[in-house]
Amino acid sequence: MKKQILFGILFLLFTNLLAQDKEGNDYFFGDNFHFHGNRTDLRMMHYSSLTFQISDKRIWTVFDSFDPENKFNADYGKITPKSKILLGIKLTPTLKNYFTAEVPNFSKFYYSYLIPDSSEATVVAMGINSSNIADYQYRMVLDDSLEIQKWSHIPGLEMKYGARKPYGKIGTFRFPGRKLLVEVAHKDSIWIRDGYIMDWTRRIKPPIEQIIVRGASTYGYYGLNLDSLRRTNHGIDSPTNSDIIKWTFEKDSVQEFDLCFAQHETRPYSIYLIKDIQNKRDTIRIAWWEIGNRFTVENKYLKDVGQYTLFIQQTGTFGEFSKDEMTQIDFKIVESLSTDVRNGYTPKQILPFALGMLTIVGLGFIAYRLRVRRNLKMVERDRKLLAIQMQGIRSQLNPHFMFNSINSIQNLIQKGDISAAKNYLQTFSSLTREVLEDSEKEMHSLSAELKLTRDYLIMEQLRFGFSYQIKQELDLHTDNVDIPVMFLQPFVENAVKHGVSNLLDRGSIAITVSNRDNDLILEVTDNGQGMKAGVEESATGYGIKLSKKRIALLNQLNPQNRIDMELLNDQPGTIVRITFVDWLN
């Protein structure tokens, strides 16, 4: 076994050497599979990720990489596979200058592979075998949006590349110009999952979404509008450079600036800065492997007066990319100008104008403030007047309700129905207590209103014998909706007195609570004789007239939440529909 492990390590080193050209610049994928694991250095207590290159002729040796008895493990710390799935990927051996990076996917990190020649990629799962293949599933997502393969059973098992036992066959893929996520997961444990992102998109100019500058300004930072910057600064006589960003600022006015890139998790960037200071030209690399979406050009690069050019390209050798594959930013740092030279005025000349402007602005602000305060007083006065009128209407409604109830009790006593009169009086007493308790409130919950209405109907039912029902079709709980106190009672009373009182036990009243979007809708329906044309006012009682006045006042107090009332002839019967517009928003 030790000889086999030693042979595997030597073979790995040999294939890595073949992956370099004579100058050592280019690199190739080689005849390998890539597997991934984690290493914990027990000496330094340091945790890191590892990539294993395993020969595609001896794929079974991947298990030796995680063998605790392996001397390599003993010397370099505890090495474990990235997941139980033991996912591996193989690209074309001659693939040149591919890239790989870890991309976050919720709680996991998946390795991405940039495949510049649009060749195919093969994915296997060495941790899946005949005993557990039914426990796993896989899916494929194209361009981070289109699920071209929903979660499905693993395609099958195979035994290639020198394998000694069958392993999970995931597939061979090729999507030129697109990105593909292949994800494998355990059906019962969301934590056991792994995947690869394969990127066949072509090399393009790195797009910059915005530039955020920190330095001397009102707020300490500001963003450069790239479109306006191009319109203002690009050279008219050089149309080929019309998309080059040009920018000039004074020394010490900019502390640093951020380049904000579009998402490029599978394609790392290199950033180079060419400085031309006092006729001395220098090229420095300020970033080699930038995978984040924001990069800060630090203050140490912005201290000297001179001409600068910033190049952003895909990670690689500087100079081998065409202009269409590089983003260029030219900026010039000039000497700071004094206030006098920059504005053309001295402070003594500016002071009188500044004092005059301050005086005009101050007087204007005082006048505006006085006007606003006057308007607020008028609005508050009108509001108090409307509130007084509202209290007046409620003070008429309550005695009206009590007067009608006492009349009903008197009628029962005159008929000799003492038992009904006692029950009526008992219910009336409870109802009166509820009305008095809410007398100081303007609003209460819809559930409290429906209880008050139900008590009133129970009381009147003793006298007339009609039936009733209250339907609740509201999406919200009635405890969470407020309406004006004793709002429904006058309409229900009108339905009893003018609708079903003559029908006795044939009478029927229905109250429906519902909503349409954010509108609250209350309906009171009776099966009485209805209204004749042109006699709507005479068919309604005193309580309805007061309620109409109350609705008009409520609409003045709260114009943003209007209340509409409709009186409909149902023939036979009458429907009163009250709509509280946008009441539930």
- What per-residue confidence (pLDDT) applies to 97? 77
Q: Please name which of 168, 200, 201, 160 lies closest in space to residue 185, comparing C-alpha atoms.
A: 168
Q: Residue written as tokens 């031309």?
A: 276
Structure tokens at 343: 């504005």
DSSP assignments along 231-279, one per residue? HHHS-TT-GGGTTSEEEEEETTSEEEEEEEEPP-TTS-EEEEEEEEETT
**CA dihedral (304, 307, 312, 315) positive or negative:** negative
Cα torsion at 197, 198, 203, 206 (round to 10°)?
A: 0
Spatial strand order in the sheet of 294-297? 221-224, 208-215, 254-261, 294-297
* In contact, 463 and 504? CB cutoff 8 Å: no
Strand 563-569 relative to strand 208-215, pairing: unpaired
CA 225 to chain centre: 25
- In angstroms, rounded to a whole number, what is the distance separating the alpha carbons of residues 424 and 421? 5
Residues 6+ away with beta carbon under 8 Å from 156: 169
- What per-residue confidence (pLDDT) applies to 533? 47
Structure tokens at 381: 């006065």
Q: Please name which of 213, 214, 251, 245 lies closest in space to residue 227, comparing C-alpha atoms.
A: 245
Strand-pair partners of 297: 257
∠ Cα 87 121 318 (to 5°): 105
Burial 303-342 (b: 16+ CB within 10 A, else e): eeebebbbbbbbbbeeeebeeeebbbbbbebeeeeeeeee
DSSP 8-state class, residue 205 = P
In what helix (H) or strand (E) does residue 196 lie, and over which residues does it extend?
strand 193-199
DSSP assignments along 379-395, one per residue? HHHHHHHHHHHHHHHHH
Please give the model's pTM, rounded to 2 decimal places. Answer: 0.50
- In angstroms, rounded to a whole number, what is the distance separating the alpha carbons of residues 441 and 443? 6
pLDDT by residue for the chain (585 residues), tens digit each? 444 444 444 444 433 333 333 333 567 899 999 999 888 776 666 677 888 899 999 999 999 888 777 666 655 567 889 999 999 999 999 998 788 888 887 778 899 999 988 899 999 999 999 999 999 999 999 998 899 999 999 999 999 999 999 999 999 999 999 999 999 999 998 889 999 999 998 878 888 888 888 876 666 777 776 544 444 433 333 333 446 778 888 888 888 899 999 888 788 899 999 999 888 999 989 898 888 889 999 988 888 899 999 999 988 788 778 888 899 999 899 987 654 445 555 566 677 878 888 889 888 888 888 888 877 766 666 665 555 555 555 555 456 667 767 777 777 787 777 777 777 777 777 777 777 766 667 888 999 889 888 888 888 887 788 999 999 999 888 889 998 888 888 888 888 888 898 888 899 999 999 999 889 999 999 998 877 544 444 445 667 887 888 888 888 878 888 999 998 887 788 999 999 999 888
350 C-beta neighbours (distance < 10 Å), count: 12
**CA dihedral (66, 70, 73, 76) positive or negative:** negative
In what helix (H) or strand (E) does residue 483 lie, and over which residues does it extend?
strand 482-484
3-state secondary structure 309-340: EEEEEECCCCCCCCHHHEEEEEEEEECCCCHH
Burial (CB count within 10 angstroms: exposed 0-12, middle 13-18, buried 19+), residue 473: exposed
* In contact, 62 and 52? CB cutoff 8 Å: yes
- In angstroms, rounded to a whole number, what is the distance separating the alpha carbons of residues 411 and 277? 108
- In angstroms, rounded to a whole number, what is the distance separating the alpha carbons of residues 10 and 351? 81
Strand-pair partners of 142: 146, 180
- What per-residue confidence (pLDDT) applies to 344? 56
- In angstroms, rounded to a whole number, what is the distance separating the alpha carbons of residues 67 and 61? 10
- In angstroms, rounded to a whole number, what is the distance separating the alpha carbons of residues 266 and 52? 20
What own/partner pairs with CB < 8 Å and gap ≥ 24 does 344-353 have?
none
**CA dihedral (449, 454, 455, 461) positive or negative:** positive
